Structure 1
């Protein structure tokens, strides 16, 4: 019965072949003496009762037919081994570390607060460093390497950023129950919205950027008479005045809607949320784990 080949012996064979059968160079790379390497290979051939290398005047000059097949299989074994070890390293290191993640305040308050809480409960070894800013600033920080991940309204505007949509909803028009829109059925046409006094978020929010582009595309010149960083101020003003607000529909989950309502806009105005990273970012098991966790949470 033949003795099982040890993994280090396969590695010795691969190293010898990769170094053009130069035992001196191979031994140096393997941190062995040349006699020790020669002895190991001779013992392997003896115990397996095979001839792996062709020799000329005592020097290895190539592989036998058996040797060629053995090296082919050894390379596959070594590749699988390195892949296994890489996976093991990722698994063991992915649940510890720090992830710098930027999220727009509106997204945190509407759809992300529960996700963050659960993530921290399930991943106690990972520290989340939250940065709350508008979309443009977060994209800039992500592109400059100041963030690992960013949660942004899609689509992003930086070409260097890769995004994965994890949540889908819509932007809505908000108004009180005394407004003329209350008597209209269904979604409100953009052409009608443009006739009203409009309150929206400041220009560093992606929703406002997209809204203004939508108006321009439809050749509309509305009265945007007030902009703010506060979505609850927008809704309070809509409740107390005849003005209308343009903000995401999921805000209703954070607001008492007894005296205010919202409708979709025609044409449909999506509010999709993406989790983003920089293309070709340096591999980081902890960051990859966090990204996949949030994608799975929203799926």
Structure 2
């Protein structure tokens, strides 16, 4: 048994059981991958994969257990490599953050700027997607951490910690009648066409739940993943917008007004998540502390050990 065999098994699964693609991803030959997997099966005495002719189609029951062990072993190997790199270069390396558009556009710029001033030698990458996609990036070791709203909490193999709270706002043109109301209600919001986030983003589930609880069905005219898109269509007079409060800037959005809506849709919590058992470079702890001053390295390490599973703001 050797590490090459374990890598081949893991990559075969990641490439949807296509050994040609797995071989390309690992810069080797398809026959070599196939042979190594067969040799590992013979050594273990079980079939890892189900087959149709010479093609593999899926995992057998013992194959699922083998894959689970392989993932743990390869994670430890990756951690050992990162430990070596960190002690060789404390202030340089690569750092990949997976996040949503809202976080990348409105929250991270100042955090990234402060981080890069501290670690100018670190090569930073930002990957964007919906919460499910960015969680998978961390699970697959394509990113070191991810940042999103509540929907990344409870994802398998991820440790999540709260960063900050925020509320939605209703954005309207300067002359809109809702601005004359001291405290708007859901019924009053539902009287107007609504432009808001796609179901996968920025606390949309809380918006839907609030209306459902009151038996209301707002006319959702348009859904988008980008608050700037939502604001553009509100400026055109097509409807009212419901966006994350962080996405509204009075100086930048001079043609719009924001009405706080926390009393309608509740408070949201943005979270940072890392892979369970991952080894974090020292500068990753620094980044998390810059993002969420309520967090520190000791608390993060305790959470990684399962000692602060219920930590909340």
TM surpasses 0.5: yes
Structure 1 gaps, min length 5: 1-86
Does 2:206 match 1:207?
no
Does 2:180 match 1:183?
yes
Does 2:290 match 1:293?
no
Does 2:94 match 1:115?
no
Specify the alignment match of 1:272 in structure 2: 269
Q: Secondary structure at the match of 1:267?
A: helix
Cα distance in 2 between the residues matched to 1:174 and 1:230: 14
Structure 2 length-normalised TM:
0.59
How many angstroms does 1:200 deviate by? Answer: 1.0
How many angstroms does 1:225 deviate by? Answer: 1.3
Cα distance in 1 between the residues matched to 2:96 and 2:238: 41
Match of 1:261 among 257, 278, 282: 257
Structure 2 gaps, min length 5: 1-82, 294-313
Structure with greater Cα Rg: 1
Q: 1:155 to 1:137 in 2, by over 3 A?
A: closer
Cα distance in 1 between the residues matched to 2:107 and 2:290: 14
Match of 1:164 among 156, 161, 166: 161
Q: 1:222 to 1:155 in 2, by over 3 A?
A: same
Q: 1:137 to 1:214 in 2, by over 3 A?
A: farther
Structure 1 length-normalised TM:
0.62
Cα distance in 2 between the residues matched to 1:122 and 1:164: 23
Match of 2:125 among 125, 129, 133: 129
RMSD between aligned residues:
2.7
Q: 1:267 to 1:91 in 2, by over 3 A?
A: farther
Does 2:224 match 1:228?
yes
Q: Secondary structure at the match of 1:277?
A: strand
Cα distance in 2 between the residues matched to 1:233 and 1:254: 17
Cα distance in 2 between the residues matched to 1:268 and 1:88: 47
Does 2:102 match 1:106?
yes
The answer to whether the Cα contact below 8 Å between 1:275 and 1:291 also exists between their aligned partners in 2 is: no
The answer to whether the Cα contact below 8 Å between 1:115 and 1:294 also exists between their aligned partners in 2 is: no
Specify the alignment match of 1:21 in structure 2: none
Cα distance in 1 between the residues matched to 2:140 and 2:215: 36
Q: Secondary structure at the match of 1:211?
A: helix
How many angstroms does 1:102 deviate by? Answer: 0.6
How many angstroms does 1:155 deviate by? Answer: 4.7
How many angstroms does 1:221 deviate by? Answer: 1.5
Q: Secondary structure at the match of 2:249?
A: helix
Deviations 1:241-271 (A, max 9, x none): 1511111112223863333111122335324
Q: Give the number of aligned pairs.
A: 209
Q: 1:145 to 1:209 in 2, by over 3 A?
A: farther
Cα distance in 1 between the residues matched to 2:192 and 2:233: 14
Deviations 1:37-62 (A, max 9, x none): xxxxxxxxxxxxxxxxxxxxxxxxxx
The answer to whether the Cα contact below 8 Å between 2:111 and 2:290 also exists between their aligned partners in 1 is: no
- After the TM superposition, which residues 79-98 of structure 1 pair with which residues of structure 2 at under 5 Å, given as runs? 93-98=89-94
How many angstroms does 1:138 deviate by? Answer: 0.8
The answer to whether the Cα contact below 8 Å between 2:195 and 2:242 also exists between their aligned partners in 1 is: yes
Cα distance in 2 between the residues matched to 1:110 and 1:274: 15
Cα distance in 2 between the residues matched to 1:164 and 1:255: 32
